[in-house]
Chain A
């Protein structure tokens, strides 16, 4: 069976968003969900498109066009769903993240872990903002 590559952090976010949204995973909803997951970092819609294309090329997700809807000006949505490889890659990433969290919390203590949630830095992806 094929072994998936390790995922980047942004790819993990998008796969998690698709997993959560299930049938309703398309550009805008994935962007909103990924933004919520990435808080306080901001997520750009353009970056979401690029990464979704890359995930599709890797065979981690697949897409199809839905029926047109009036709230979108009669245009169709491109809906995404996780493929088996995508699920496996996300499971591996989640397991790794959990192990990292456990070890860092054990070494730096629970106070440090609480601080991480209490004072979030205001950042875009890879770039500080005022």
Chain B
């Protein structure tokens, strides 16, 4: 009986393991190897947990929310300026929510699989481009072409900016690098900057409602993202 798993099996399993934990997980699976079938079943039971754990470590809910809202705002704006009939449709607003979900899901997986500790601005933009391209391709024929193209292009521009400003974290802060979770106050004290940001967001919403009520959702989203961005910048 061979004492090591077949290389082809290991190669297949390694594709599904995020690079940040590939070394130790493949080593552990190798150590537990008895026969190919057992290896496959063990990998099938272990790898999903490893993926979920890695995503939990790399995904930042606040940043993902900002990115999702910006992509939605981009598609919403694109619909207003290119094809308003979609917005009259009963499910129009929901159809426009599909590309953000797809793009954000793609970027979550990209972050989890990213092997690099520090990513350059070019690489971050490339990752966003892949995410928006993924959403764009899946929405071809499901959304009007011009709307899809304008929405994806605007998303690329806005989300790249957010990603470069708030770079995705490779790992959550460890005990040595920062305070433990229970050291952080449950509700962060608000300082003057975040109050100003919140006030600016409210003013923006009020102005948009007063000028043209139909554009209100777009301004609400932009204001929300601005506020989230300011409070996030204050934290960092």
Q: Is residue A50 contacting chain B, with contact meaning CB distance below 8 A?
A: yes
State which of B24, B45, B46, B53 has its C-beta within 8 Å of the C-beta of A77: B24
What chain A residues lie within 8 Å of B53 (beta carbons)?
49-50, 53-54
Across the two chains, which residue of chain B brings its CB closest to A78? B24
> What total of A-B pairs shows CB separation below 8 Å?
98
What chain A residues lie within 8 Å of B179 (beta carbons)?
2
What chain A residues lie within 8 Å of B4 (beta carbons)?
73
Find out whether the CB atom of B27 lies under 8 angstroms from the CB atom of A73: yes
Interface size on A, residues (CB 8 A): 33
State which of B42, B49, B180 has its C-beta within 8 Å of the C-beta of A49: B49
The 9 closest A-B pairs by CB, nearest first: A59-B175, A46-B49, A75-B27, A78-B24, A72-B27, A59-B180, A27-B28, A73-B30, A46-B46
Across the two chains, which residue of chain A brings its CB closest to B47? A46
Find out whether the CB atom of A57 lies under 8 angstroms from the CB atom of B181: yes
Q: Mark each residue of chain A from 57 to 94: 1 if its CB lies under 8 Å from any CB of chain B, else 0.
A: 11110100100110111011110000101000000000
What chain A residues lie within 8 Å of B30 (beta carbons)?
71-73, 75
Q: Interface range on chain B: under 10, 10 to 19, 20 to 34, or 35 or more?
A: 20 to 34
State which of A50, A60, A75 has its C-beta within 8 Å of the C-beta of B24: A75
Q: Is residue B221 contacting chain A, with contact meaning CB distance below 8 A?
A: no
Q: How far is A53 from B50 in the complex, measured between Cα atoms in Å? A: 9
What chain B residues lie within 8 Å of A44 (beta carbons)?
45-46, 49
Q: Is residue B172 contacting chain A, with contact meaning CB distance below 8 A?
A: yes
Q: Chain B's nearest CB lies how many Å from the CB of A23?
A: 16
Q: Is residue A111 contacting chain B, with contact meaning CB distance below 8 A?
A: no
Q: Chain A's nearest CB lies how many Å from the CB of B102?
A: 26
Q: Is residue A113 contacting chain B, with contact meaning CB distance below 8 A?
A: no
